[in-house]
Structure 1
Amino acid sequence: MEQEKEKVKSGNLIDFQVLRRLFRFAEPYKKQFYLLVFLTIFMALLAPIRPELVRRAIDNYVPEGDYDGLVFMTTILIVHLVLSAIVQYSHTYLSGWVGQVIIKDVRVKLYEHLLKLKLKFFDKTPIGRLVTRNVSDIETLSNVFSEGIAALIGDLLQLVVLMIVMFVTDWRLTLVSLSSLPLLIFSTYIFKEKIKVTFNQVRNAVSNLNSYVQEHVTGMNIVQIFNAEKREMEKFKEINEEHKKAHIKSVLYYSIYFPVAEIIQAVAIGMAVWYGARGILVSINTGPGVIIAFIIYIQMFFRPIRMIADRFNTLQMGIVSSNRIFDLLDSKENIADQGTYEPKEIRGKVSFKNVWFAYNDEDYVLKDISFEVKEGETIALVGATGAGKSSVINLLSRFYEINKGDIEIDDRNLAEFDLGALRSHIGVVQQDVFLFSDTIRQNITLGNPDIPDEKMREAAKLVGVDKLIERLPGGYDYNVMERGSTLSVGQRQLISFVRAMVYDPKIIVLDEATSSVDTETEELIQSAIEVLMKGRTAIVIAHRLSTIQGADKIIVLDKGEVKEIGSHQELIDHNGFYANLYQMQYKEVVT
């Protein structure tokens, strides 16, 4: 669907609405951009001077044997070449500079927008596609400023100036020289249309390739566990083959177009030489300098026309990439952060009132959920897989928005809280721990300068992981590598526990925090929980019911509905859902 959408958008020659929006990013650098346009115009005006100097040197000074005049004209020509080189250097550097500073701003804005999107957006969008938007597509935008608009204006202006000078010099020779121009324009148009379609195919192939590689490298353990290397390799070859075909097709069009353009230019030069030489033979007022000047004029005239096709394609590449980027920037799936309440401290009372929630449309995973957690109370959420336990804590931190109902902390609706302030009071330890490729210190503090080493070490000591960290090479400066691959599951879990605790949150959420660790590590966490939960509100999710028997309240969920609420003993005595779950686990343990 996305590919079809992009093809439709790329059908227009130039989308001025997109260009206007794109040029808003150039506003902070408009002085540099205006200077770039000035240099472009100046280069176009300088271009016809060189052939004219050559003509005068040959026609005015060579026949007369005027050596001094020839030296003077040669000196002017050298000065002109030096000036042209300086202007060309300034133009090339400034165009590259403008392009890079603008895409830097676009990339920052796009990444800032990504940080504010709901998790629901990332659930349904391939990461490789987002990487393509943030890297490859944005990189294409730099060419719009460095090789697109400014260069296109310069090329068109140079064509106008050259044509005026050529007609003033010899209008008859100009008409003869440019007689093959319609053929070049036609071939350029065909090339532009073909390469435009090919570019769409290349961009889509790059996006698909990035998505596939990212997803399968991340899930490489699954590929190897199920011995699927050969099958996945075949799929990769297919995607890579499409990528290769798209690129080769563009190379084919270039390899056809440029030789054709060279032949057409050679025909034009031949016509100019033929007609000019004929004029000299029949004593028409045509000198050899004019013929040589026209050879240079034709080369200078045909080069921008050949390049215009590339300029338009560069512009269209930028427009297609801009559309992709703006579609992402315009996505309304960001969490509405309009709350202004920023309490320095909270008591920790949590209330769910008739909450309904669905990840997709009205396929509700939570149905009319209501419960209350008092300040400093510990509750446990239990239930079968898919009962809605993780959804409850995702909603508490506003990772997703509810469909109906209300969630309150300290009798204030979550929407009233500033999002950053809300999450700073909630510490979360997830079941699937993610560690960045960085030091343990950075993974605990996440680069927050407000967390001193003393506080980090104190949290680690409370969790009971301080000695384990100090035994690692470099201690807190030990690099855990990508996704914490150099640490065991239990070690990663403990570090994530420290990461949650170091912010000293009033509300603690443990999402299956002990489900993937050994008994010894679980005992470390349970010991830390007993200390850290004092005076804090705790919400615990656990499959092992033995770990939450001491909870003040246990909430039993089934298919998104609250079935039972009570203490461990009360629910056992009730002999309902919880009692059945407990008896099943007890039988498994006994077995």
Structure 2
Amino acid sequence: MNYFRKILRYVIPYKKYAYLNIFFNVLYALFSTLSFLALIPVLQVIFSDQREVGQEPVYESITKLTTYIQDSLNYHLVKYINEYGDFKVLLFMIGLIVTIFLLKNLSNYLAMYYSTFLRNGVLRDLRNDLYSKVIQFPLAFYSEKRKGDTISRLSGDVDEVKNSVLSVLEMIVREPLTILFSLATMLFISPKLTLFVFLFLPISGFLISKVGKSLKRGSLKVQQEQGVFLSILEETMGGLRIIKAFHAENLFQKKFEDSNQRFYRHSNKVMNRQNLASPLSELLGIITIGILLIYGGYLVFVDRTLDASFFLGYIMLAYNILTPAKAIAKASYSVKRADGSAQRILELLEAENTITDIENPIQKEGFDGLISIKNISFKYEDQYVLKDFSLEIPKGKTVALVGQSGSGKSTIANLLTRFYDVNQGTIEIDGVDIKNISKQSLRGLMGIVSQDSILFNDTVANNLKLGKPLATDEELKEAAEISNSYEFIKDLPEGFETNIGDSGNKLSGGQKQRLSIARAVLKNPPIMILDEATSALDTESERLVQDALEKMMRNRTSIVIAHRLSTIQNADNIVVLSKGKIVEQGKHQELLEKKGVYYSLVEMQSLA
């Protein structure tokens, strides 16, 4: 229950609804008991053949209170029957019972009404906080986690917790109070009979808790497996082209079916144990009632110490305990399951974000002079990608990073933007360590065009406006023209308002990349990072975009990562990397004349 208790802090903003739910649950428990208690006089009217008004009973002592109330009820009933007749008294009593049942069900509705705001409020806040964590975590977090598992936590686990919030309110308020009020009334009617109930309740509770012990563990397996098959589904939808190209449909079908089978097996175990709660508690309750009927019959027919109508009312009250007892058993199982889900949610909520702003970070508005990379070292896991690396990038210059795959080119771009933090050394902009600059203002200085054109299932305009939400139509058109994407945008069915589909799949690879470039152009940042920005373009598109990029980079500081010679041959400084270290740097012609690593790369057509 430790994990679930932590989640309950989300109830605090909705405590008004919780209090109202508790208030109406108390009324429900009270009217539930009164509804059965009111049946006793009705039974006496129907079954009693006594019609003579005797002497009015006199209260003697607390020990004879039950006898006094029974005698008083008999006296007044006979008196009213003689005065108004059997049928009128019966109608009045039935009207009273209907009124009590009406109040009971109205209280139940209002309790559920307020719990709706409570549960859905908790659900909304939990999902908002989880999404906030998901979007703030560094990229490194998702290299270790399955995406589908994260999705499962935001959907299935949160729903499990939401449903259990109501179960807890019922378990600690309505159902226990219904049992308490019923037991108090039963104790008043017959202390001897109630003794049996008190003896049996602990035994019943012990047996039910025994069944529920493994529920949390089983629920954890169910939610984890849901994360696995959601991951397979997400990977399948993202890589459907490759799956079909390699005829791997059967392979992925088997992976999904195996995971789904494990989910099926774990779910069956959990649900069957949970389903045992209701019949087990009812069986135990019926055994109790059977014992009560035997002993109560003895008190009515042999001992003559209990009136028959009171005994029937007592049995109804005893049966009234069964429903809340079943609900408590079911709710306790539900909370045990929710504890497993709460554990998975808290793992995400309490996971440490390693890339955070310092207290009162610098809000840097512009870029004035120099980017300095000073003796940095970085490793993704155990192997260093960069070791004691240094580089200076002056304002307005274009620096190209070249080298074979794994040489550390893209890593430098990731470190400049603080997608990752360096293990050693510093990266400074105008002499200020980027760790002291707020992430928002740091990334506001940079425009990024990556190798993978990452677009969203939205309109062209909204995709472009990511970097500048308030951009005008004229600015959109200008950015599109610079990136040579306006030609195809104006031919789309609704122009800039055309939806481009999931990941922009309604467009060609070249069109997607040109939109990515237009997005960076619209943002108009002082520093531009081009991570193999023209790699997805065909020859014609590349020629169009290359001209636009060159014009765009004239007034900006640019870091260009590329394999194609055309992208970098006009750079002010070409930095050749190998295994995380600089092996050569200079202008294109200078490096060719050296006939070193750069020359070899060009010869091997790595840059051709």
TM-score for the superposition, normalised by structure 2: 0.89
Q: Choose from 32, 42, 57 the match for 2:27.
A: 42
Question: Which residue type is aligned with residue 37 of structure 1?
Answer: I
Q: Which residue of 2 aligns with 1:199?
A: 219
Deviation for aligned residue 1:378: 0.7
Larger Rg: 2
Q: Which residue of 2 aligns with 1:390?
A: 410
Q: Choose from 53, 64, 68 the match for 2:88.
A: 68
- 8 Å contact from structure 2 (residues 475, 522) kept in 1: yes
Whole-angstrom CA distance in 2 between matches of 1:178 and 1:410 = 78
Q: Choose from 189, 195, 204 the match for 1:169.
A: 189
Cα pair distance change 1:140/1:334, threshold 3 Å: farther
How do 1:480-519 residues align onto structure 2 when only pairs under 5 Å count? 480-519=500-539
Whole-angstrom CA distance in 1 between matches of 2:556 and 2:204 = 77
1:420 aligns with 2:444: no
Q: Which residue of 2 aligns with 1:343?
A: 364
Q: Which residue of 1 aligns with 2:279?
A: 259
Deviation for aligned residue 1:433: 1.2
Q: Which residue of 1 aligns with 2:56?
A: none
Identical aligned residues as a percent = 32
Whole-angstrom CA distance in 2 between matches of 1:219 and 1:41 = 55
Deviation for aligned residue 1:400: 0.5
Q: Which residue of 2 aligns with 1:276?
A: 296
Aligned residues: 572
Question: Which residue type is aligned with residue 377 of structure 2?
Answer: W
Deviations 1:200-225 (A, max 9, x none): 33222222222222223222222222
Question: Which residue type is aligned with residue 269 of structure 2?
Answer: K
Mean Cα displacement is larger for which, 211-220 or 397-406?
211-220
Whole-angstrom CA distance in 2 between matches of 1:328 and 1:252 = 29
Deviation for aligned residue 1:163: 1.5
Question: Which residue type is aligned with residue 480 of structure 2?
Answer: A
Question: Which residue type is aligned with residue 442 of structure 1?
Answer: N
Deviation for aligned residue 1:464: 1.5
Q: Which residue of 2 aligns with 1:59?
A: 44
Mean Cα displacement is larger for which, 68-77 or 564-573?
68-77
- Structure 2 portions without partners, runs of 5+: 52-80
Q: Which residue of 1 aligns with 2:154?
A: 134
Q: 1:47 is paired with a residue of what secondary structure?
A: helix
- 8 Å contact from structure 1 (residues 459, 502) kept in 2: yes
Q: Choose from 212, 218, 227 the match for 2:232.
A: 212
Mean Cα displacement is larger for which, 77-86 or 297-306?
297-306
Question: Which residue type is aligned with residue 26 of structure 1?
Answer: V
Deviation for aligned residue 1:296: 2.0
Deviation for aligned residue 1:129: 1.0
Q: 1:48 is paired with a residue of what secondary structure?
A: helix
Q: 2:535 is paired with a residue of what secondary structure?
A: coil
Whole-angstrom CA distance in 1 between matches of 2:170 and 2:196 = 31
Deviations 1:452-487 (A, max 9, x none): 222111111111111210101111111111111111
1:25 aligns with 2:10: yes
Cα pair distance change 1:445/1:26, threshold 3 Å: same
TM-score for the superposition, normalised by structure 1: 0.92
Q: 2:455 is paired with a residue of what secondary structure?
A: coil
Deviations 1:334-377 (A, max 9, x none): 421126322333236321111111111x4210111111111110
Q: CA RMSD in A?
A: 2.2
Mean Cα displacement is larger for which, 323-332 or 119-128?
323-332
Q: 1:142 is paired with a residue of what secondary structure?
A: helix
Question: Which residue type is aligned with residue 144 of structure 2?
Answer: K
1:357 aligns with 2:378: yes
- Structure 1 portions without partners, runs of 5+: 1-13
How do 1:226-241 residues align onto structure 2 when only pairs under 5 Å count? 226-241=246-261
Cα pair distance change 1:471/1:27, threshold 3 Å: same
Mean Cα displacement is larger for which, 165-174 or 442-451?
442-451
How do 1:471-550 residues align onto structure 2 when only pairs under 5 Å count? 471-550=491-570
Whole-angstrom CA distance in 1 between matches of 2:134 and 2:278 = 42
Deviations 1:536-587 (A, max 9, x none): 111111111232111110000001111111001111111111011111118x
Deviation for aligned residue 1:92: 0.9
